[in-house]
Amino acid sequence: MSLLVSAGKGALTRTSLPCTIPSVTVLAETRRYASRRRAKARKEQKTASVQRDASGNPIYAKKDRTPPLFTALPVAQLTEPVFETDKRPDVKFPSFPAEAITKENIGKVMEFSSSKDAVAKFGLPKKVWKDFKLLNKPYTVVRGATVDIVDALTKASESPSKDSRLALSGTSGSGKSYVLFQAVDWAVANGWLVLYLPRAVNFVNSTTTYTYDPRTQTFLQPEAAYQTLHRAREANKGILENIKASSALAADGVKPISAGTVLYDAMNVTREEVASAPVILDWVMSELEVQTDYPVLLAIDDFQALFNRTSYRDPHFKPIASYHLSMPRLLLSYASGRRSFARGAVVGSLTSSDPQFPITPELDSSLDLASYNENDAPKLTMPWPYVQHSRFLSEYAGGLVNIRVPRQLSMDEAGAVYEIWMEHRFMSSKAHDELFMSKYVESGGNARDFVWKGLLGTLQT
């Protein structure tokens, strides 16, 4: 730095002076929430990590599957003397033969005869599976509804299935799934060809793949059809080996099947042929319609789910109607009588405890469910005029016959249920009449509450 200084007589001289420039520190903004780049990256990472289903609900990672609340441990793990493994009771009850389903045997405990063979290959409803997991053998109690459904199946064995389309209704926990399972077990023991679908809700809750078929203008469900074919083939092996195809199958993308082929061999679909399973299943059902050697029972649990709006979405993200999906459409065609077996029946069980797939107004009107109050006593009601009904679903529900499962267990039936769990020592206190009556009154006679909240509730502290 230089300055001009006067040196006399007006002369100016330039003088150099030392100059010190102060250092300047630039403070950069380091607040994380003010960084747009970091906020954007964090948002993208959060959005990418959350996967959503067709309904827009987040899909979380599956947790380790935990066993039910009550699970019997194997004897090998109970080494302490306090467990008294040597004193475990040897529970024995009579089997479940066809001739035993009479009014005289209502309220008696029996063992399922074929549940370990054919019926077990179809699977079980979740609540029934939990009960059987605790017991050493699957047991049941003959009820009045059991006699009614067996009498209806006996009459239907020689008539078309369109004349025997039944629906089991009742309050939650009344035992509808058990009555349906009793009918399935009875049919298997009497030589029926049985198609049992214990969890029909899986056909509409978007748990399996689906593809659009321009030929039928519907959505096919190859994985669901494949599982249905496989289970029906293994459960009815002895019967299907005696049935030969009356017509041939020739379709694009499907291996040709000639007339005279044994159905058991024709239903052998490999994993590489899953895409052709819906076409083969429809053809097999057509063959079962024309054969007259064996009566056919189509048993459907979660029957009301087929009449609900599904969780599947079309390319425009609109919900797909159940009758536009291959599996529900196939089942509804038999439930409505549009398709019929030469001999047999169609039986469905309504689930009233599923909030996602409740009983629809079409089923309510067809089965006249509104005419029963909470105590199952008939009452006079008028249909609500402002509830929208689907014309298509009303046609599918038309002609169904309602079989009402009582809300309460009778004293004889409750005593038989009490005997099953008492013999298996599933109660912490000693069995006596006061305990039985107290749990029966607490549950209001409801079958599920009587067992899980009443008898098994004594194990909770």
Per-residue HEC secondary structure of 229-269 comes to: HHHHHHHCHHHHCCCECCCCECCCCCCCECCCCEHHHHCCC
Contacts of 138 (CB under 8 A, 6+ apart): 111, 112, 115, 116, 132
- The model's pTM is 0.79
Examine the domain organization and report whether 105 and 248 are in the same domain. Answer: no
Counting other chains too, the contacts that 43-49 makes at CB distance below 8 Å and 24 or more residues apart are: none
pLDDT on residue 121 = 84
Supply the range of the domain harboring residue 395. Answer: 144-404
Tokens 């009771």 belong to 89
Residue 200 in domain: yes
Same domain, 167 and 252: yes
Give domain status of residue 20, yes or no. no
H runs (alpha helix) in 323-454: 326-335, 361-367, 391-397, 411-423, 433-443, 447-448
Please check whether residue 285 lies inside any domain of the structure.
yes
pLDDT, position 139: 83
Q: Is residue 130 part of a domain?
A: yes
State whether 149 and 217 are in the same domain: yes
Same domain, 170 and 100: no
Q: 259 and 342 share a domain?
A: yes
Q: What is the reported pLDDT for 58?
A: 74
Q: Is the same domain home to 182 and 247? A: yes
211 and 240 housed in the same domain: yes
Query: Are both 125 and 166 inside the same structural domain?
Result: no
Query: In this structure, are strands 51-52 and 58-59 parallel, antiparallel, or unpaired?
Result: antiparallel
The answer to the question of residue 205 being in a domain is yes
Q: Are 288 and 341 in contact (CB under 8 A)?
A: yes
- Please report, in tens digits, the pLDDT of each residue of the chain (461 residues total): 555 544 554 455 555 555 555 554 444 445 555 567 777 777 666 655 667 776 777 776 665 444 445 566 666 777 776 666 555 555 666 666 667 788 888 888 888 765 456 667 888 888 888 888 887 778 888 898 999 999 999 999 999 999 999 999 988 889 999 999 999 989 988 889 999 999 999 999 999 999 999 988 999 999 999 999 999 999 999 999 999 999 999 888 888 899 999 999 999 988 888 999 999 999 999 999 999 999 999 999 999 999 999 999 999 999 999 999 999 999 999 999 999 999 999 999 999 888 899 998 888 888 888 766 555 655 545 566 777 888 999 999 998 999 999 988 989 898 888 888 887 777 766 777 888 898 899 888 899 988 888 888 777 65
Q: Do both 378 and 430 map to the same domain?
A: no
Count of domains for the chain: 2
Q: How far is CA 420 from CA 134, 182, 429, in A?
A: 11, 17, 15
